[in-house]
A and B are shown apart, each in its own frame.
Chain A
Amino acid sequence: MTATAAAAPRRPASVIDTVDELLGRRVSMRSLALLRVLIGPVTLLHLLPFVVDALNGRIYRDAFYEPYASWYPELPRTLYGAMLAVGVVAAVAMSLGFCTRVATGATFGVVAYNLFLSTTHVHSNRAYLLIVLAVLAIAPCGRELSVDAWIRARRGHPPLDPRAPAWPLWLLRFEAAVVYGASGMSKLVDPDWVGGTVTWHRIVQVRDRLDASPLPGWAVSLLADRSFHTVAAKLIVITELFIAIGLWWRATRYAAVWVAVCFHVAIEVSASVQVFSYLAIAALVIWAVPSARDRVVVIDPGNRGHRRLTPVLGALDWLARFRIAEGAPGAAVTLTDRDGTVSSGAPAVARVLSRLPLTAWFALPTLLLPAVRGARRSPDPDQAGHAGDSDRAAEPGLAASGPR
């Protein structure tokens, strides 16, 4: 009897089973930990106008506001100010990862309470911030990159498992995609928008500001040209929809992230959108494959240049994507990727930089260069399993169905 014949027949997984597996699979929470660190300053920026007003003796109800419900509790003036102070302290603690669970929950609570005090408080960027904070509050994202983890290590306790069920990550990815998808779709179904009328008309309305800006005359003329907008508006709609869809597939994800960064920088430069740009760029980290240390960078410890790479990689590898190993003397820097493919020399460095959050935007285009594209080798059968497979063994089935 063969082993195949001996194996019990496998029942095909139903859609529900597959969904349950996706939601429950334990994956690295590193990206959410990093997002938590980044969202602290964004939250402070969001709270700043409320705090400044409160310090100047004015709060929301000193001028027009519109409660969502008459029963919604409103705090006395001093308590409202104290609540904002709690929000500020909690946002700082959340970012540092100090008493993370409590701090993240408190930050979410303060932002949510304040947001729903009045219809005038709600903007899309604040709604998105609230969603991100909600996910951070329910996900165990304080086990890494946190003072809590540092204290735990100082006390000699073993680190907590940085992995957790994937469902908060899936939810946040869904919400992030909705932000782009809903925006793009609303423009797509509006003939004025997709036809370029809206963007052109906005430019016409602010033409005097454009003329006074440092933009060269030809750029201002181009921006004010009606026919330019018939193309530009469609590009904007396509960009939003591409980001919403492209983030879900590995083949298009890096392109979608790169485009998203350009998109948000352009918005930040051209419009007043409160914290939206910072928030949306920070939230792009959730699209990193949630498995840690599954790429290996091999360096020559005798090479000064290679030795310099080690602390740089340690400082910038915020998503914990790399392990560093020492290789043979005289060998070039070698990267063994998650799928086992190997690159070495400059292409390996380019590939490493393209996976670091701070350098990715600059390095990703270099991956299109033939020299970099052609430098990857399939896994050597003798070396197979050397790279990410040890981690992968700890996360069975990740490659098959985990968030990617």
Chain B
Amino acid sequence: MLVACPRDGRCPCHGLGVDSRARVIGRRLAVALVVIVQLALVARGYWSAHKEFAFQMFPESSTWQAEIVRVTTDGTRVPVSLPWAGYRWDDLVTGRGLGHPELRHHADAGLDNQLAFLDAALDYVADNTPRDDETRYLEAMVTTWHNTDGPEVTVLRSDDRPDAA
């Protein structure tokens, strides 16, 4: 039951754990908000590639492997395993198992999550290699194995690089 307490604190209940109406309602709303947001984030985890606060742990045994190339302005496809313009893929992309995409890796947070990171990594490299004036875009041919299923191939492509000659 809500009990109002005068602000001057001179009521008999003051200090005995009886709170003002505003405090009671504020507490109620804050808790309700956290509960609703948390449950929404859990639900979001079922369709979102990134599953922040969804706590879906060890979701899959899926694996992936990618052949990533730079496609130059003249159409040449150069593997990123070869350094270019002073850049190395495994320097530019380190976390989330993306440093050596040519090796078959476990997608520890699920394939959707892994592909989303790889897609973002392609864009990152395309955007953060200013000395490279020959690459038009990066492309990844990704082979994925969802759990024990057979392989599937997905092609990911970075944004076009406007600085390419």
Q: Do the two chains belong together in a single complex? A: yes
**Residue from B38, B45, B95, B147 in contact with A174 in the complex, judged by beta carbons closer than 8 Å:** B38
How far, in angstroms, from A366 to B45 measured CA to CA in the complex? Answer: 41
Contact, CB under 8 Å: B1 / A13: yes
**Residue from A25, A63, A187, A202 in contact with B91 in the complex, judged by beta carbons closer than 8 Å:** A63
Chain A residue numbers with a CB within 8 Å of B35 are 171, 174
Contact, CB under 8 Å: B34 / A119: no
How far, in angstroms, from A123 to B61 measured CA to CA in the complex? Answer: 17
Chain A residue numbers with a CB within 8 Å of B109 are 123
Interface residues on A, range: 35 or more
Closest chain B residue to A18, Cβ basis: B1
B84 contacts the other chain (Cβ, under 8 Å)? no
Contact, CB under 8 Å: B58 / A20: no
Contact, CB under 8 Å: B147 / A192: yes
Instruction: Given A127-B55, A171-B31, A186-B59, verify A20-B95 contact (CB < 8 Å).
Output: no
Chain A residue numbers with a CB within 8 Å of B27 are 20, 23-24, 165, 167
Contact, CB under 8 Å: A183 / B31: no
Q: In chain B, residues 59-93, which have Cβ atoms closer than 8 Å to a Cβ of chain A?
A: 59-61, 63, 91-93
Closest chain B residue to A119, Cβ basis: B50
Chain A residue numbers with a CB within 8 Å of B96 are 120
Q: In chain A, residues 1-58, which have Cβ atoms closer than 8 Å to a Cβ of chain B?
A: 11, 13, 16-17, 19-21, 23-26
Give the shortest distance, in Å, between A159 (CB) and chain B (any CB).
15
Instruction: Given A63-B91, A119-B117, verify A197-B55 contact (CB < 8 Å).
Output: no
Count of A-B contacts with CB under 8 A? 119
Give the shortest distance, in Å, between B28 (CB) and chain A (any CB).
6
How far, in angstroms, from A128 to B38 measured CA to CA in the complex? Answer: 11
Q: How many residues of B contact A (CB 8 A)?
A: 44
**Residue from B38, B52, B91 in contact with A178 in the complex, judged by beta carbons closer than 8 Å:** B38
Give the shortest distance, in Å, between B44 (CB) and chain A (any CB).
11
Contact, CB under 8 Å: A197 / B57: no
- Which stretch in B6-14, B120-128, B130-138 binds the other chain? B120-128
Chain B residue numbers with a CB within 8 Å of A16 are 28
A179 contacts the other chain (Cβ, under 8 Å)? yes
How far, in angstroms, from A228 to B104 measured CA to CA in the complex? Answer: 26
B115 contacts the other chain (Cβ, under 8 Å)? no
Closest chain A residue to B18, Cβ basis: A24
Instruction: Given A198-B60, A205-B63, verify A122-B148 contact (CB < 8 Å).
Output: no
Chain A residue numbers with a CB within 8 Å of B106 are 202, 205
Contact, CB under 8 Å: B61 / A202: yes
How far, in angstroms, from A19 to B25 measured CA to CA in the complex? Answer: 11
How far, in angstroms, from A399 to B121 measured CA to CA in the complex? Answer: 55
Chain B residue numbers with a CB within 8 Å of A24 are 17, 19, 24, 27
Instruction: Given A165-B27, A198-B61, verify A20-B1 contact (CB < 8 Å).
Output: yes
How far, in angstroms, from A123 to B113 measured CA to CA in the complex? Answer: 11
How far, in angstroms, from A171 to B33 measured CA to CA in the complex? Answer: 11
Closest chain B residue to A182, Cβ basis: B55
Q: In chain A, residues 87-130, which have Cβ atoms closer than 8 Å to a Cβ of chain B?
A: 119-120, 122-124, 127-128
Closest chain B residue to A134, Cβ basis: B34
Contact, CB under 8 Å: A175 / B61: no
Contact, CB under 8 Å: A183 / B57: yes
Give the shortest distance, in Å, between B20 (CB) and chain A (any CB).
11
Chain A residue numbers with a CB within 8 Å of B124 are 64-66
How far, in angstroms, from A131 to B63 measured CA to CA in the complex? Answer: 30
Contact, CB under 8 Å: A23 / B28: yes
Contact, CB under 8 Å: A171 / B147: no
How far, in angstroms, from A127 to B92 measured CA to CA in the complex? Answer: 26
Chain B residue numbers with a CB within 8 Å of A23 are 27-28, 31
B98 contacts the other chain (Cβ, under 8 Å)? yes
Q: In chain B, residues 25-50, which have Cβ atoms closer than 8 Å to a Cβ of chain A?
A: 27-28, 30-31, 34-35, 38-39, 42, 45-46, 50
Which 10 A-B pairs give the minimum distances between C-beta atoms?
A201-B61, A182-B55, A186-B56, A64-B93, A63-B94, A26-B17, A66-B120, A202-B61, A182-B42, A198-B61
Give 14 A-B contacts (CB < 8 Å), ordered by A residue: A20-B2, A20-B27, A21-B1, A24-B27, A63-B92, A64-B98, A119-B117, A165-B17, A178-B38, A182-B42, A187-B58, A190-B59, A201-B61, A202-B58
Beyond the given pairs A64-B92, A64-B98, A205-B63, 7 more chain A to chain B contacts, judged by CB atoms under 8 angstroms and listed by A's residue number, are: A19-B28, A66-B117, A120-B117, A122-B50, A175-B38, A190-B59, A192-B148
